[in-house]
Structure formats: C-alpha cells, structure tokens
Structure 1
Amino acid sequence: MTTYDEYGIPVGAYSEPESLKHQAWRLARAFFLYRIRPIVWGRYSALRSGKWSFRRLFTLVNALVLLWWVVLYWGERGAFNGAVESCNWEKWEKWEAGANPHRLIFVADPQLIDPHTYPGRPWPLNPLTYKYTDLYLRRAYSRFQTVLYPDTTFFLGDLFDGGREWSTRTTTSPEKQYQKYGDAFWMNEYRRFGDIFLKHWGDGGMEARPGQPGRKLISSLPGNHDLGFARGVQVGVRDRFNAYFGDGNRIDMIANHTFVSIDSVSLSAFGQESPDQVEHLWHPTKDFLGTAKAQKKRLIQRELRVHQGLKPFPRMPHHEIKTEDLAKSPLPHADDDDDITEFPTILLTHVPLYRPQGTPCGPLREHWPPTPPSPGNPPLELDDRNAIAVRGGYQYQNVLNREITADIAEKVGDIQYAFSGDDHDYCEVVHRGYASAGGGIREITVKSISWAMGVRRPGVLLVSLWNPVDDKGRSRGSGGGKKTVQTRLCLLPDQIGTFLRYGVLFGGTLVLLLVRAALVALGFVESTRMERMEGPLLPMANTPNSSAETGKSASLYKELHPSSSSSSSSPEEEIGPRYPHPSNSSTSSERGTLQVRTAHRSLSPDTAYALPSAQQGTQTFPLVQHAGYNPANADDDSKGKVKTYGQSVSTKGKKPRKKRRGVTLFWYELRASLGKVVLCGVVVYVWLVWRV
C-alpha cells in the first residue's frame, strides 16, 4: 500500500541528489580503483616476479615523470619555503648582544579577487583566478606564521577588492552592475578572508615568544576598496567594516612604540569641494586627530605603570558624582608628568602621504626601477618613472592632499616612521617638509601580498622593534640616540613565472616524446612498452611437425628437470596429464595417479604444456578452448570447426592482430608516454595543491 507524506507526495518517490563534491569523490575513487591501482599493481607484480629490469626503469618517460615531480614540488613548495626562509630574522637583524626585539609583519592589499576585479571574464577563467590567488595568499601567509612566527601582524587596508560595492541594509552600490550583490555576499567574503588569514594565524602556535607580552593580529585599517574614497564612502559600508574589523582610528602601544592608525580614505572627504556637506564622513577622524597627542601621553603613562608592576588604571575616586555630570565624568588616569618622554611614533595610513610629483621611490621599486643617472652624477632628485604618480580618479587617489598630510603630521606629532599601502609596489621616501621627531618622516609603502595586483614579486615588510626604556620612558641601551626600528622587504615567489616554467617544461616534454615516438616507429629505438597484441595471454597448442621437434622438447625438459631424467624416459611419461580426458578417465596406475596419456606434447618456453590440435596444420587456440576436446567427436577439417563440450568454434576468418607499425605505432607510443607523464604529474600536482 502506497503511503503519502503531508504534501501528498508518495514516500520514497524523491531522494536528494548527490552533491557535486560527492560525485567528484566517487569519480576519483573509481578512477583510482580501475585505472591507477591496476597499473601500480601490475608494475609491482612484475618487479616481484623478476620481469622488471633496471633498463626498463631508467627510460626517457620515467625520467620526465621524475623531472615533473621535482619541478612541481619546487613550484608549489620549495619556492615558497626558500623565499620565506631567506627572510629569517636572524639573517638581517642587527641589535646589540642580548636584545630581544619585537617582530612585526606589515601585510598590504590582499584585495581578495571577486566579481569586481575582472568583470566579464568568462568561466572557468574567473573561478580558477579565485582559486589560485587564494591558494597563493594562504600558502604564503601560513609560512610566515610557521617560519617567521611574528609577534604582531598588521594589515594596511584593501582587504577586499569590491568591498565598497556590496550593498548593506541601508545602502546600495553606486554602480548598477553590482547592486545585485548584497550584504550576504559581503559576509561570504568575510568568511573567505577569515579562512585565508585568521584561520592560519595560529599555524605556528599561539604562545608568545619568551620576553614578549603576547601575539596580536590587527586588521582594522580600511582601504579605498573596502570603504570607497572621500565622498564615495558610504556610512553603512563603513559601519559594517568597523563592526567586524574594528575602528579604523586607533592607537596601539607595541614594544615601546606608539602606532597611530587613521582612516585616511574617510578623512580625504575633507579635502574635496563642499566638505561641509559630507562632514559625517571626515568628522570622526578629525575628532580623533584632535585628541591624538593627549591619548598618546595617557597610553604611554599606562604602559610605564605596567613596566613598574602597577595597574594601568588608577583606582576610581571615592566621591559623589551628580547624575547630570555622570556622562561627562572622565575615567581616572595617572597624573600628568612632564618628565615622561614619548615613545617613537609610527603612523599607519592606507593612502601614502603627499610628496611632490616625481619624488623617487628608490631601487627596490619593481615595476619602474630608478632611471640610471649620467656617469659621474648623483641619483636624480626627480624621477617620474620611479615615483608614485600624484593623481586620482574614481574612488581612488594615489597620495593624500598636501593640506591633509600637513594636518596629520602636526596633530599626531613627532612622527618618525610612516607605513602605507594602496600602490601595490614598494616605495621608500623621506618627507622633510612635515613636522616630525627630527630628520623627517621616513615612509615605506608596502608591496601587495597578492600576485594578481600588477607585481610579479609580491611581498610583505618585516619590522624589528627594540626600544628598552626607563621608568620615565627615556630610551636606554640601543635606543639611546640610535634607531629603534629595522625593516626588511621580504619578497615572495613569482607565480606567473612559475606557470611559465610549467608551460616551457610541457613544451619540452612534448618535443622529446614526439622525437622518441618517431624513433620507435622507425625502429631506431626499442619500445619499452609490452606489445599485448603479439600473442594471447594463455598458451597455445603446438603439434610437433617432426621427430626432431619432439626430441628438442625432450632435451629442453631434461635441462629444466635434471633430477627426473633417470626415472622417466620422456617428458610425457613424467609429466602426465593435468586433467583426465572425458573419454578416458579411469585410473590405471598402481601409484594411484591418473592414466598417462600417450598423445604427444611439446614443451617450449613460449607454450609450456599444450594439447595437440585435431589435425596437423589446423588453427591454434588457447589452452582453455581445448578443455574436453575429443578427436572422435570432431567434424571434418574441411568444415573448419572444432568441437569443445558440444560447442563449435570456428577456425576460419580468425586472424591474429597485426603488430603496430609506422604511423599507428608512432601515435600509440606518443599517446601512451604522454598520458603516463601527464597522469603522474597531475596526481602529484593535485596532492600539492590540496595540501597547502
């Protein structure tokens, strides 16, 4: 009786289809069971049986397989490991003996690829770009954590590429083509960012290094691709970013250094026309800058109290506060001490500070290296080719306005270093026209960590901090009049170059296999593959044509069985039948063995034990077709048939398969050898990609 569910559908009439992931797993499992495993088992069995030789092992095809394995491992593992290990802290840090510096990494512009990056790019090119950029970021970032194990990791903005475009509950994208992407899409991108960076932050461990307070990851600094730029910033988009990553305006005390982060993309709205109309965009950063010096001093006092073993906050005062004054009542803090010295101040901004057009970026800039000066002259003071262009466009501006930069330098105060992103390439400039701690502000624009951002060699910036201080915050030891910050550009592998090497190697592999297949077809080189069509797998019947052949078989048998030559006059009498014949199956030996058949058998390395055919000269068959054969029941030879257990097997029209020659052999060798190289390479490549 058929039963129905609450919707009126017969129970069991519908089953949930298998997911694509499960179907792919089943396909891979079947391919392994019915393709790969039989080949491996066949090679293993041949090796154990002694049929495999070193000559068959050391072939061109096997050499190419081994070469591909080495190149793939280098491209997917060795290049990353070597690049990160070359940046090891001990190789470039230069501090006094006994120093325990704080180690920090700046990561700039990961800009996760999304529909905004390459609009209109067809399938499957776009998904493959997503896959390989994410794989590159994950692999590089994981090795930073396991090999370098930084104490602090700072992101310098542009975490996403189209983050500003994805609508919120209160905003929509200014571009029509992206209005269909809503808040759910942004949340998926946030999970994707977490899977790449947040999830792998602890790959090397979570414990603090000896002498360090702990490990930190700070990713709150926004970029123009996260929020937009100036008037293009939407409050709803900014609030969403701040809710998940933190406020873009903040001050952090790290290793006796003051890190001041500012939301420069929102502040840039102040430098455009009619700034009063967009006060809600730039006003939070302006307020933050207005209190930056007081906040710096207060935080330094708290840090020094911790150094002295005291609590960072003094106790709350025990006096009555009126209700109307409660909202304005400040939290207690240590008394102002004019003797307290500020820590070195480091400014963090996504958009670089203003500089005159043509200010050179130095020799480490990849895309446009410095223009070589004429012989005997110093480097050029203005070099447009090597500089960051001072210009802007839709939702971006290469550098901040001159007025905004001067305002930041004045209100933050005593800036020694500045680190920025946005440009994707390395740039190092010393700003001498702004208020600083002396000697100008040394700004480093950090390279993008992504290989899809227009640079062949992505990278990060390593920073080593060492500033021991006394109870008043005055530097001592290496900090007394010396640098407290050391930096090193750490370059990552050239992923495009790796793909090009794979392509060149594939081209070389194809050429070598084409030459080899041609030489095999012409007979100059012996094929290392077994020709399966030359003969059947089972032994064939072979009737002796003369007494000489019979004698040859007997002598061969004696060579193979020298111990039995004295007790048996012929191999037939010694060997005996393997199975009784249907017409003569009675036992007749006093030893209880089966009756010895007098029919002649031949013994040869190719045919082993064989039964006679019905008549000399008839077509030969595998041994299995002669089971139960009775010559008395056989038809006339002219009919061309042989009876086997009542079934007629035709001997006419059956021709042995021809051995491959010429073009057929050429294509067979090419397909077989190329298929082996590709299959072995793909299996190893998938394993390397699967395991980051």
Structure 2
Amino acid sequence: MSYSYSHSTAADSYRPARRGSPLESSNASERWRQLLPSWAKQWASELHEEMSTRNGVWSLFKRVVRYIFTVSNALILFWICTLWWGERTVFQESVETCGWGNWEKWPQDATPHHVAFIADPQLVDPHTYPGRPWPLSTLTVKFTDQYLRRSFSSIQNELGPDSVLFLGDLFDGGREWATASSSSPEKRYKKYNDRFWKKEFHRFVKIFVDTWNEGDEHTRDSIGRRMLTGLPGNHDLGFGSGVQVPVRDRFRSFFGKSNRVDVIGNHTIVSVDTVSLSAMDQPDPETGSSGTGSGDGKQPNEHIWKDTQDFLDHMGAYRGRAEMEALRMLGNQTEGRLFQHRAVDILEPSIYHQPQPEGAGFPTILLSHVPLYRRPATPCGPYREHHPPSGEDLEEDEPNAISMGRGYQYQNVLTPAISRDIVSKVGPNLVQMYSGDDHDYCEITHHEFSGSPKEITVKSLSWAMGIRRPGFVLTSLWNPIDQATGQSIGAANAGRTLQNHLCLLPDQLSIFIYYGLVFGLTLCVLLVRATVIVQFPRSRAGPTDPILPLSEHRSAPAARPARYKTPSSSTSSSTFPSPRGLASRAVNAPPLYATHAGADEADADSSKWKPTRGSPRRPGGDESKAKLIKEDFLASVLGVAKIVLCWYFFLVWRW
C-alpha cells in the first residue's frame, strides 16, 4: 500500500489572503455565522446550500412564500385585526356616529356650546363585588377602568365637547371609606381609611382628568373648556340621614362645591346636592324623629340638609350674580365696586350693602343626581334598555318606568315635597333637567310642575353597572343674546335653545364573547391543520438520504456483541464494528430498528432487521399518529398565542 502527500512550503501555509479576496469573505461570513443561535445557523446553512444550486433564487423564493403564507400566519393576522377592532375601532366608530353635525339642527351661522353629560362611572372597588376572589377582582377593576378611560378619551378626541358635566356617583364605595372622624357603619369596610379614598381619587384623575386635554383642539368657545365634577351621588356621600358630614367635606375639598350656579353657553346651570337635601324628610337616626323640630328649635338632620336648603332659599342672589358676571365677561368688563365717600352719623352702620344683582333671565338647567318625583309607572320612552315600551303613547308602563323603591343608602326618586321645593325655587325659566342614579336612560316630561320641564336620566358610562350598552348624553346649547341686557335675540331660535342626543358605547360583554368565538375557531383550524400534516406527510428525504439507519442500536448487554457481516464475503469470519462517526443526518436520530445476530453462521444467515423489545412503534401506528398530532397542535397554538398575546398586551398597555 502506498501513500502520497501534498507538499507546501511554510511561506505558502502562512501567506495572508489579499483584502477583498474570496477567502477573506468566506472567513468573515463564517465568523459571523458562529455568532448566530443554533436555529439561525441551521437556517443559514440551508439557505447557503439552496443558493449554491442552479435554481437557488427560485428555491429561495418558494421557501419564503411557504414561510409567509401559512395557516398559523393567517390566524395571527386575523387575530391582529380582531383585537384592533375590539380594542380601538369599535370605540372610535361608536363615538363618531354621535358627531355634532349628524344631529344638530341650528342655523348655518350658529356657534353652539357643546356639552357632554357623564353619569355614574362608579369606579369599581372592594365595595362593588365583596365576594369576588382574586385575581377575578383585580381583572374586573382593570377592565372597567380601561373601558372608562377609552370611552372618555374617544369622547375627547372625536367630539371635543366644550364642557363635561358629571352627575354624581364618581365612586362606588366612596361613602364607606373612613375619615379622621368617621367610619363606615358596616364592619367589613372599617379597615379602609382615608388613604384608600385618596388612591381612588387618583384613579379618577388618571381616567378622566389626564385625558381631558385631548379635546382642546376642538373647542370653539372663547371662554375656554370646563369640567364640573362637584355634584355628589349616594355612592359618594350616602343618602339622606346616612350622609356623614366629614365624608361630604372630604368630597367637596377635592371636587369643588356641591351646590353651585354656573353659566355655560348662555344657560344657567344649577347643581343641587339632593342626596343631602333628602335628609329633610327622613327620620333622624339618633332621635328617631322626623318632620318636627326638637325642643331647642333644631330640625331633624339639620346638619345634613341645611346647607343645601340655604342655597335654594337664596337662589335668586346666586343666579343673579352668576349671570351678571357672565355678561361682564362677554363684554370684557371688570366687576368693579362702588364706594361712597361721605360723612355719616356715628351710629349708622359703616358697611355698604350692595343691592342684589338682577338676573339676566337665561334659560335654566337643573342638575340632580337623584331623579325628581313622577307618578308611578311613568314610561321612560323607547331608548330604555332594561325594558322596551309595551306600546305606543301609554300613560303608564310599569316595566318601562323607574321603580319607586328605596333601601340602604339609596332612593330611586326624590319625594314629592322636595321635588316641588326644588322646582319652585330654581326659577320660572327651568327648561331642562338632567339626573343619574338609575344607570339606564329615561326621558319624561313633568306635567305636574309649572312649565312642564323635561328630564333626562343619563345612562351610566360604566359597563359594570347592569347595562350592556353604556352611554352618555350630548347637549348642544345655542342662545344668542344681547350683551347689554342678556335677553335672547333672533327669531331663528323659536324659543328652543338646546338639543339633546343619546350616544351609546360598545357592548364590552359582546366583544369578549366574540373573542371567545374566534379563540374556538383558532383551535379548530389548528387541530385540522395538525391532523392533515400527520395523515398526509410530504416527503422531505433527498436523493442522498439513506433509507435505513446507519447507527447500531445496542439493547441489553449480551454475551457476544452483535456485528454486521461484511458485504464482500458471506463466509469470511472477519467482521468490522459499525462506525460511530458517520456524517449523516440520521446519526443522532433515535433508532427504530436494530439487528440481533447469533453466534453461528446459520443464525447469522436468518437474522433480519426487526424492532427491538421496548422500542417505539412504527410511525404508522394510531398511538404514534395521535401523539404527533398533539405535539404539532400544541406547538402551533403556542406559536400563535405568543404573538397574539404580545399584541393584545400592547393594546391594553397603551390604553
């Protein structure tokens, strides 16, 4: 046997490659390839092999097409579109349908003031679902806050109202959280203190106040935009004799006056704290008396209702001052004060009493959290969600009406006496009333009061308040006036200075149901895909791939090791061990077959390739196919879920 050697000099062995030579490029690409992860190395190797063939570009193109246009990628794309619709598009489309130009009917040159009324957001807290366990309780808080934030942000971005007025019940358990001098009457809420209430206040700020400035670009009012949140609800303070003064003082210190008069869009907006005023005709929890004074001249619950009653008793002064200030602002005038310089008698009071201003007579709008009294079974109209009208033009419709109920810290409507007192003292120009508390929409006309004012009970903005379609009310105010007198001018008004429109928000529960249906469809499609792939596999063996395994499977130790006979001679006794380092793709694969050879030549002649004891069954078996289907199904589900969940969390995290 002869051997030949190639000879090279040392200079040839260490001669550096020229810059830009193929050798240098190959070494550089090899170094970069070593830095890649294992799956990237394999992909790069296969790509290099395909590109080196004659049809490399076409093969690469087909590989890219097969990689992109797959069932899993199609499902991922479908999920991306579905989540974008459910988390973004459906909110924008719901609000866009309520655009001012779609329902306003003013003259072409009119510049109305746009108002949005928001009722009962009632931020979910431990008081809402006391028996709901973690993490369901945390998810409830997360999704309800997210719904409120998206809805309010869409209102600001798409509509940009000039003013936003809240109608109470900003929190769900605000009345239960203790102050320094008061606590909840219920034992299970006594552990929640003033610090917890402040955390809830920051939640409110994050949801509503932080998104308020998103609508600044839409405003057309020269005075600017405003947001009024001071009107309290029974979930904020309690109701009637259950109101605790420290809790009410805390609410007012953060949200402003509860009883106030504002001029908005040349309309006088009167806010009345009716939950405190309702203590006037309720028994005192300490004495049990009601309706009559005690021996010292004090009335029952006077410390609760007196502040609101004084506000109503001096309504003329409050209205006149607010309307005159609004006229001065329109005319760019300062308020100014008149001081008389003259000699007076020493006994004459030195304080100069300015006469009470006379009101301009703006149309008046009343705001109250609790609806005013109406006859039982008064129908609420066709937009009520709980129960549609039983017929047309019915004077009584019990299912469609607000029930006349009351209970712990709530009362569905005010009493007749308090309702009459409020309407009579607000003034003769009362044209519209807005209320909340019921969570559903209700629109009636109060024929029992002078002037037959209309009242709208606004829907809750939250989807956790027992309604499927939350909503809010848009109001367009247009009252052109003479700036000197404040009187309405122009025959185009025809006595009508406001228009209302109910705007409905998405049904969040239906969105979740739709997600569930898409999830079920995804599982079915991936299961069918895995079944088809296993039942009808595509041949991936190349022309050089071996049919039989090239490695020996050694089972239990035997007395004499099994060997392969040499193919050159059947009678030769010389045998060679199976090589261990064969460069084949099947070397590291689990062997399915092995040889069992005997010691004698007769046994060797009759030896065959057959499965060893304890080895897996053939791939064609039912159990093996089911296992392959399961593995492929789970792998495809995991691959789709990773991308879809990342996209969903991104949409949730953004807002």
Q: Give the structure 1 partner of residue 303 of structure 2.
A: 280
Q: Aligned in 2, Cα 1:300/1:85: closer, same or farther, shift over 3 Å?
A: same
* Cα deviation digits, residues 642-682 of structure 1 (max 9, x gap): 589xxxxx999966998685112211221122222222211
**Which residue identity is paired with 1:163?**
G
User: 1:212: Cα distance to partner?
Assistant: 2.9
Q: Distance in 1 between matches of 2:433 and 2:131?
A: 38
1:383 aligns with 2:397: yes
**Secondary structure of the corresponding residue to residue 268 of structure 2:** strand
Match of 2:508 among 470, 495, 498: 495
Aligned to 2:137: 126
Report what 2:167 is aligned to: 156
From 172, 181, 192, the equivalent of 2:183 is 172
SS of the equivalent of 1:212 reads coil
CA RMSD of aligned residues (A): 3.6
1:465 and 2:447 matched: no
Pair 1:97–1:642, CA change in 2 (3 A): closer
1:513 is matched with 526
Cα distance in 1, alignment partners of residues 173 and 187 from structure 2: 13
Aligned-partner residue type, residue 118 of structure 2: V
Q: 1:399 aligns to what SS in structure 2?
A: coil
Question: Using the alignment, how far apart are the partners of 1:133 and 1:469 within structure 2?
Answer: 43
Please give the alpha-carbon distance, in whole angstroms, between the structure 1 residues aligned to 2:347 and 2:138.
Answer: 59
1:405 corresponding residue in structure 2? 419
Letter in 1 for 2:520: G
Alignment of structure 1 residues 304-453 onto 2, 5 Å: 304-318=327-341, 330=353, 332=354, 336=357, 341-371=360-390, 373=391, 378-414=392-428, 415-435=430-450, 438=451, 440-453=452-465
Matched AA of 1:119: P
> SS of 2:475's equivalent?
strand
Partner of 1:66: 77
After superposition, give the CA deviation of every residue in 1:10-44 in whole Å (9 maximum; x if it has no partner): xxxxxxxxxxxxxxxxxxxxxxx999999999999
1:670 corresponding residue in structure 2: 633
What runs of 5+ residues in structure 1 fail to find an aligned partner?
1-32, 536-603, 611-615, 621-635, 645-649
Residues 652/313 of structure 1: CA separation in 2 closer, same or farther (3 Å cut): closer
> Aligned AA for 1:379?
D
Specify the SS of the correspondent of 2:434.
strand
**Does the Cα contact within 8 Å between 2:551 and 2:580 map onto a contact in 1?**
no
Query: What amino acid maps onto 1:512 in structure 2?
Result: V
Give TM-score scaled by structure 2 length: 0.76
5+ residue gaps in structure 2? 1-35, 51-56, 284-289, 292-298, 553-573, 594-615
Aligned partner of residue 75 in structure 1, secondary structure:
helix
Deviation digits for residues 256-314 of structure 1 (CA, Å, limit 9, x no counterpart): 10000000000000021325231000000000000112321232223223333322344
Instruction: Assess, with a 3 A threshold, how the Cα gap between structure 1 residues 319 and 158 changes in structure 2: closer, same or farther.
Output: farther
Farther off after superposition, 294-303 or 90-99: 294-303
Q: TM-score, normalised by structure 1?
A: 0.73
Question: Measured at CA, do residues 208 and 370 of structure 1 come closer, stay the same or move farther in structure 2, by a change above 3 Å?
Answer: closer
Query: Percent identity, aligned pairs only?
Result: 46
Distance 1:419 1:126 in 2: 32
Alignment of 1:475-490 (within 5 A): 475-477=488-490, 480-490=493-503
Q: Residue in 2 aligned with 1:186?
A: 197
Residue 242, structure 1, aligned to residue 257, structure 2 = no
Task: For 2:402 and 2:141, locate their aligned partners in 1 and report how far apart those are by CA, in whole Å.
Answer: 28
Q: What is the Cα deviation at residue 354 of structure 1?
A: 0.3
Q: Does 1:292 align with 2:321?
A: no
Could you tell me how far apart the structure 2 residues matched to 1:356 and 1:365 are? 18
Counterpart of 1:107, as a letter, is I
What's the offset of the Cα at 1:638? 3.8
Cα gap change, 1:651/1:687 in structure 2, threshold over 3 Å: closer, same or farther? closer
Equivalent-residue separation in structure 2 for 1:183 and 1:319 (angstroms): 54
**Residues 522-572 of structure 1, C-alpha deviations (whole Å, 9 max, x = no match):** 22xx57xxx9xx88xxxxxxxxxxxxxxxxxxxxxxxxxxxxxxxxxxxxx
1:451–1:495 contact (8 Å) kept in structure 2: yes
How many matched pairs? 546
Q: Does 1:474 align with 2:487?
A: yes
The structural deviation recorded for 1:514 is 2.3
In the alignment, the residues of structure 1 paired with residue 107 and residue 238 of structure 2 have an alpha-carbon distance, to the nearest angstrom, of 44
Residues 288 and 41 from structure 1, CA distance in 2 versus in 1: closer, same or farther, beyond 3 angstroms?
farther
Quote the residue 1:264 is aligned against.
Answer: 274
Q: State how 1:588-599 maps to structure 2 within 5 Å.
A: none
Paired residue type of 2:186? E
- How far 1:182 sits from its partner (Å)? 0.4
Deviation at 1:516, TM superposition (A): 2.7
The residue correspondences of 1:616-627 to structure 2 (distance < 5 A) are 619=551
Q: For the residues of structure 2 that align with 1:346 and 1:139, how far apart are their CA atoms? A: 29
Q: Where does 1:72-221 land on structure 2 (aligned, <5 Å)?
A: 72-205=83-216, 209-221=219-231
In structure 2, what residue type is equivalent to 1:513?
Answer: L
- Equivalent positions of 1:626-645 (< 5 A) are 638-640=576-578
Shift of the 37–95 alpha-carbon distance from structure 1 to 2, 3 Å rule, reads: farther
CA shift for structure 1 position 242: 0.5
Task: Please list the CA deviations of residues 295-334 of structure 1 after superposition, one character each: whole Å capped at 9, or x if unmatched.
Answer: 212322232233333223444555699999999765x46x
